[in-house]
Structure 1
Amino acid sequence: NVRVDIFNPPQDEQPGQEPVTAMSPEARQLVASPRSTTAPVDASRPSLPPLGAGQAVAIGKVVCEVNGAPVFSRKVLQPIEAALAADARGNDPETFRKLASKTIRDQVDFLIRTELEVAAAKKNLTSQELQIADQATMVWRAKQITDAGGSLELAKQRAIAQGTTFEELIEDEYRANIVRLHYQKRLLPRVQVTADEMRRYYDRYKDEKFTSRAQARFRLIKVDIKKIGDRATARAKAEELLARARGGEDFDTLAREYNDDPRYRANGGDQGMIDKGAFALTAVENAVWARNPGEVTDIVEERNAFYIGKLEQKTEARVRSFDEEAVQDEIRNTLRGQQLQELRDKQRDQLLQGAVVNPYPPRIEPLLEIVMQRYPYWAMK
């Protein structure tokens, strides 16, 4: 077996490696940015230090080394804290422990592969290309400050609240940028989408992605015969409300004031967008679909109640043609993204084959114990 070396790929596997002069949107989407300093904080939760903070095993603790570069415990735990907290809710301790173990292992694996990608990028990019990464990182830094109200200090404080530092976030973004540029240089030239591939994708997903169902949004007023006491009185009330609605009174207001259904009163009778044929009251739905947007239906009797509806909007079913430019652009971009991700996955696997990870597999038990200490707190939420 011949191992492919991403650091020194064979010449026949380097199609058109022209110098990179700007970062492409495809490359930017391929590698995620680190957390934003403006991420919302749940003020309703009791204040606790970020996961791993203040614990000797987590501060400065090296989980493993990748070709001599350390992977720290804090880098493992803090990005996955929200996911761990979500898993704790609704799961018993034993089940949560299994879920947490997998989440931690996946994060360690991600960090190992990321470290290898960064090293490969640093080796293969030119000084001019590294300057492009610098410039993109500075643009990102400026945006973080702008999003923090223009305050550098506030951006720093928010980073600290997330268990990191602003400087560390900037470094993470720079690392992401050089990996993006590296893959733009090495992988994008290999991405080729054929017309046959596009057509096959369209045929496979025509119903799911390129067919829009008929939908309508409407409001209802319900007059409950049983609640009113007798059919004649209920009918008279419905006729009065219909006259007022067609006379120009605001339907939303009428629905909030006179509905016999408390749910309809709360939202002005708004049913939201509903697929044609999916509404439980068939006669009411048919009456609504017979109207144009803005029109009010006749009185409809169904299930021991009278209903008046107002159609807000409706869309007819439509199949987008393969020949539409927007459809082809969407398919092409999707297939290019898939190919690019597949190429990246292969490159990451190749990097791992030639890497020295010590210890391997990394010991995650100390991290798992830290996580289990938080379980009672998370499980209460």
Structure 2
Amino acid sequence: MRSRQRLVALGLVLAAALAQQPAEAIVVERIVAVVGDDPILLSDLRARAKPSLLQVQQRVRPGAEQAAAESQVFKDTLEVMIDQRLEAQAAERAGITVTPDEVENAFRNIANAQGLTTAEMFREAKARLGLTEQEYRDEIRRQILEGKMLQLRVKGRVRITEDDVKAMYERTLREERKRRDYRAAWIVLQIMPGSSPEAIAERKKLAAELVTRARAGEDFAALARAYSDEANTRDAGGDLGIRAPAGSPQAQQGQRPALAPDFENAVMPLDPGQVSDVIQVEKGLVIMKLVSRQPSRYTTYEAAKGEMVQRLQTEILEKAKRKWLDELKKRTHLDVRL
């Protein structure tokens, strides 16, 4: 009922403006989406997208690329606003509210965690994100409301076993490995164009022998100096220096070089000191050794267990949220006009 009244009120305001102003002077507020009976206005969308737009403007050069990035920001922000409007409507039906005290307590906790006063926190939000104090309060209120609705949705249904926690720990370690710098070395055995099958077989035999010798404990660097055909690294014992996984921020930002995919795929599963199988490439055979890897921040399973439980809870809540919102969308009239 409240939503329908809002639409009616908006229509009356526009009708009054039309009656009182010359046509050429009228600026009509654009509606970019309707959720149920609730409109989402372009001005609201622009206000909500402001922090993300500032980030785009800081990291993307002006032109077509920036325009495309800004367009995507508006689309993504509108999706979030639609979800939040659905949540707010569901909360209203369920009689769930957020009190001013709950918002104040949230701000105190956020400020204490950052070692700031609430006033300093508001100033930082303004400087860093372009958010006014009221916009920041509105955002925190939305987050608290969402948390309450999710707790109501999944209350009593979250079951986490020890096996679940261990699986999350292993998955986290695998994901973290994709971001950790490492040092690798190689031995390269060239196969000359036009080599006979016998010559190729001899090179493959030598490569297999070198793998066996290196895995048995023979000095990999000495083997590289004696056998590698790659002149740039042979004298350094095949040392390739410090590399970063191709998908890591270090590699994508140009802070560290990455290996070619075939070589990275061979190195990533290795632990320090381990040697790969022989890798056949277009011009020869390659043997990789992982010399070292940046230490994991997770020292033991027991030390990481609390964080893993939190990750699991967050994952379960996120899945429940997505399922719930999909159900709400099916039952609610949506009209997206962006």
Q: Which TM-score bucket, shorter chain as reference?
A: 0.3 to 0.5
Q: Quick check: which one's helix share is greater?
A: 2
Which one scores higher on RCO, CA 8 angstroms, separation ≥ 6? 1
